[in-house]
Amino acid sequence: MITLDGVRKVYPGPVVALDGIDLSIPAGEIHGIVGQSGAGKSTLIRCLTALEKPSEGHIWVDGQDLSALGPKELRIARRSIGMVFQGGNLLDARTAGQNIAYPLKVAGLDRGHRRERVQELLDLVGLGDRGNSYPSQLSGGQRQRIAIARALAARPAVLLCDEPTSALDTQTTDQILTLIKDVRDQTGVTVVIITHEMSVVRDTCDSVTLLEKGRVVQSGNVGEIVADTASRLGRAIVPPPRVDDPPEGKVLIDVAFTSRPGEPSSSHVLGVIAELGGDVTAGTFETHGANQVARLVIATDPTRAAQTVATLRAQGIDAEERAA
């Protein structure tokens, strides 16, 4: 559905914003793009909307090579790409309904069909009775719902979301992410979400790409990445639980493991830790597909720390003493 092949983007300077990106996102997936500030996320999304032209390489969206299209063809191709920005970016002087209708007007849909489609979209995002409200009369979450409806108006094959929840509180964030998942389930749209929040990746994305200095560090299925205890991205998506200080006279050991079907279960590992004289101070257990992913912090006597780490590692369990 979305394929990038050797995409480079060099700004004058020169600044290499994208340095040879190869990426494939299947139709109907929700894909997260993460990376630190300056990693190239916004440049990547601007290339996907064809607002920016790659210096090298090709981008296919919905079967079309964007780099091969002329200006007129690009304008048409852009209709199959919906965009949602941080904060919504609605036109303040227009009602919610008029905001949603705008891309339909541009696409040449007649008034009657526009009205029908706008109501359908308002209902889809759960704001069926707010079509006549102006953006200033809506909450941040409601504005973002209208922005999603507007992005979906022309039935795009791809929905690109640039930090869609970073201006929202936790509860509203959850509601917007649930809406994005529902929309994907109902319409089959392929979704790309740029985010700096790993919780968005954990709770919403099927697959994820980590960018660093314009390059792909890791890309793949979220469940598989978090199950790989050696993956830095996996540990960022499911981080170790927070423990500020070890109990008096103890040291802390970070433990990470994945229980796959047919492999030693969490209770087995907890048994090993207990036998070694360790106390579980905090723990996170998450189910990803058929796997259970665990991050534990255990407290133990300093004299036993090295032995505990060695025994756990010998059993294939990731363990590391936390620096004091």
Ligand X SMILES: Nc1ncnc2c1ncn2[C@@H]1O[C@H](COP(=O)(O)OP(=O)(O)OP(=O)(O)O)[C@@H](O)[C@H]1O
Q: In the stretch 22-61, what mask flags binding to ligand X with x, by CB under 6 A?
A: -------------x-xxxxxxx------------------
Q: Round to whole Å and give the CA distance between 204 and 142.
A: 19
Cβ proximity to ligand X: between 37 and 267 the closer is 37
Among 87, 86, 67, residue whose Cα is nearest residue 77? 67
CB 180, CB 206: distance < 8 Å: no
Which residue matches tokens 């200033």? 136
Hey, which residues does 31 pair with through a beta bridge?
A: 192, 207
Tell me whether residue 18 or residue 189 sits nearer to ligand X (CB atom): 18
23 Cβ contact partners less than 8 Å away, ≥ 6 residues apart: 2, 3, 4, 209, 216, 219
Q: Give min distance, CB of 20 to ligand X, in A.
A: 14
Q: Which of 6, 11, 65, 232 binds ligand X (CB under 6 A)?
A: 11
Nearest to 135 by CA among 78, 87, 193, 171: 87
Least distance (Å) from ligand X to the CB of residue 41?
4
Give yes or no for residue 246 binding ligand X (CB under 6 A): no
Q: How many residues are listed for the chain in this entry?
A: 324
Q: What letters, b where the CB count within 10 A reaches 16 and e where it falls short, cover 291-321? A: bbbbbbbbbbeeebbeebbebbeeeebbbee
CA 292 to chain centre: 21
* Closer by beta carbon to ligand X, 162 or else 254: 162
Cβ proximity to ligand X: between 47 and 183 the closer is 47
How near is the Cβ of 102 to ligand X at its closest, in Å? 26
**Minimal distance in Å, beta carbon 51 to ligand X?**
11
Using the minimum distance from each CB to ligand X, give the nearer residue, 40 or 131. 40
Count the residues of the shown chain that bind ligand X, applying the rule CB under 6 A. 11
Q: Which two tokens stand for residue 15?
A: 């600044």
Q: Write the burial class of residue 112 (CB in 10 Å: 0-12 exposed, 13-18 middle, 19+ buried).
A: exposed
For residue 263, the minimal CB distance to ligand X (Å) is: 37
Judged by CB, which is closer to ligand X: 38, or 241? 38
**CA torsion through residues 222, 227, 232, 236, sign:** positive
Q: Name the residue nearer to ligand X (CB basis): 124 or 208.
A: 208
User: Smallest gap, in angstroms, from Cβ of residue 271 to ligand X?
Assistant: 44
Minimum separation from the CB atom of position 301 to ligand X (A):
44
Q: Is 15 in the site for ligand X (CB under 6 A)?
A: yes
4 counts as binding ligand X under rule CB under 6 A:
no
Q: Give the residue, chosen from 7, 17, 121, 149, that forms a contact with ligand X under the rule CB under 6 A.
A: 17
Residues at the site binding ligand X, with contacts judged by CB under 6 A: 11, 15, 17, 35, 37-43
